Structure 1
Amino acid sequence: MQNKGVIKFFAILFALVCLFQLSFTYFSARVERKAKEYALSADAKQLAVKMAQGDQLREVLMFDSISKARERFFLDSISGEPVYNILVRKYTYKDVKERELNLGLDLKGGMNVIMEVSVIDIIKALSGHNPDSTFNKALVLAQEKQKSSNANYVTLFAESFKELDPNASLAAIFSTVELKDRIKYNSTNDEVISVIREETNGAIDRTFNILSTRINRFGVAQP
């Protein structure tokens, strides 16, 4: 599968997984909203007034205590009741509460996944964000070619780099500390491209594993 197609596939898959995960937060919040409405109902207010016996400060304190107790009672009473039905499985309030997301962390994790699978970002990182003008022009040119080509991005990058300067050396750009054992100053451009291809494919595989872990965690993968 071409890198461009793989990126789109994982982006769509990740979006679907995120929507499924977010659905637990939605149903959890909906139940808790109903619990709050029950807690603050007129019955709670009337009970607080009755127990306060005309003492306004006591009435406020009693209403606060009663409303909190009613909210806990509502949530406890519904904890084992199905609140989310996806046909193949029903989730109770306890289930959705356990699966609801920490939005900040999860969305941040989502951004990391999308960034990890971006081939151009991987290549830039492999070069140590080298400022070489031919290198950076080749990245942009490869992106333009990708719009009308079925070739993968690494192939288009290699082609673009050669077009811009047939005598330029990729080894001079990618002989970083991290790649010193795999790329030497005298490595050919084909050898460097081979390393880049391995690294980008490895990043895609790691992304697939991350997504698989997320999917398995929420019980939507095949057994």
Structure 2
Amino acid sequence: MRKNRFKIILILAAIALSLYYLYPTYQSSEYQKKLAQLSGQAKFDSYLKTHPIPPLTDSARAFYIDSLRQYFSADSLKYYDENANKIVDAKLKRIKLGLDLQGGMHVVLEVNVIKMLQDMAKNKDQTFNEIMQQVSAQAKATDADPLDLLQQQFEQRGIRLSRYYGDIRDDNAKVMSYLRDQTKSAVDRAMEIVRNRVDQYGVSEPSIQKQGNSRIVVELPGVSNESEVRQLLQGTALLEFKLLKPTDVVVKVFQAIDNVLAGKVDTSSATQDTTSSDTTMTAEQFARKHPFFAVVRVNPQTGDAYVAENDRDKLERMLLRPDVQRVIPSDFQFLYSAKPQIVAQGAKYYELFVVKKDPELTGSVVTNAQAQIDPTTNSPIVTMQMNSEGSREWARVTGANIGKRIAIVLDNAVYSAPVVRSKITGGNSQIEGMGSVEEANLLAIVLRAGA
């Protein structure tokens, strides 16, 4: 009898534990069903026919459409706002379903190594073209590594690889090592671009893995729009250098936005320290009085702004409101840091940057970037080289903005925002402030990705 009682208790405990972990998944599903019911696909389609989408950047346009799809009706907006914390909490705690249970998309991307080898060649004569044709045909027929096939073709013909790659004095082993390094670097760049775009797309629990020497496997649970995913993953990476707006100007705009959201009449008056003056209020009272600053945490000493991962959607909805748009200068652009900062209890915060919308330069002028260790400080740095056109423009930009920050932006995500110390001539720049070698390597990859 005692044995049976123990078994029953064990079974009941297992059932209770299962229900505990399954309940958030059930909750999340019910919330999404309710939102879909309140919005309605038919109503959404009808709305788009009579309300053209305003001119926005690609990322803002995608978010605008997604926001309309769920929140355009007053009922669904009210329901979401009343249950926002519960919806987010349930979504975070729900069981992560894989492609087999949830459905989604499985995508295999491949770096075009043969094209890369053709572009890298310093001399393209008839012999080289014949070799590349053979390599391309064999690679398609056998799925073999193009680099191995290239080496075989050169050795069979008794031709040194240095005739087309590297220094003329390099032996075949050294040239092959160089080509493999370049291939790995190309795949790393592609991985970072894909990861950044998937993060911005908002897919829950994506899987991005390298397969072999040149393939990237991407799994996107819950995603079914094939054309959107293809456009997301196949577009050319855009690297831009953008000036940050002055902190005092940004804080005034933040205050104006907060006033509009709080329903205050005077949107021009700015308080000096909103957070410190309201420390006695509860979080709920503060959110009602300062809805913007309840989402955007501003450091009063530095002016740096941060947004919790769970509040990014809320901030985007705020910024898309027509009354808020009216108090934001037309040359302002809001961008997030590419990577979050993880604070107490694992909470993730993204830095919010306000930059000049038009870039000073694009990645087309960058010729190379490498992570190194500064011999004088033993700190990680990134060295960046530009072509002659970029060097001239970079000298003008840095000379006119000493003491200001320039954001390094890849696909609308900020990877670094260093301070300009002096006018930079000759096209060779040194970027400091990385916390680790890994961070420096990532920035170098980003700079090369947009080149």
Shorter-chain TM-score: which interval? Answer: 0.3 to 0.5
Q: TM-score, normalised by structure 1?
A: 0.45
Greater relative contact order (Cα < 8 A, sep 6+): 1
Structure with greater strand percent: 2
Q: TM-score, normalised by structure 2?
A: 0.24
Larger Rg: 1
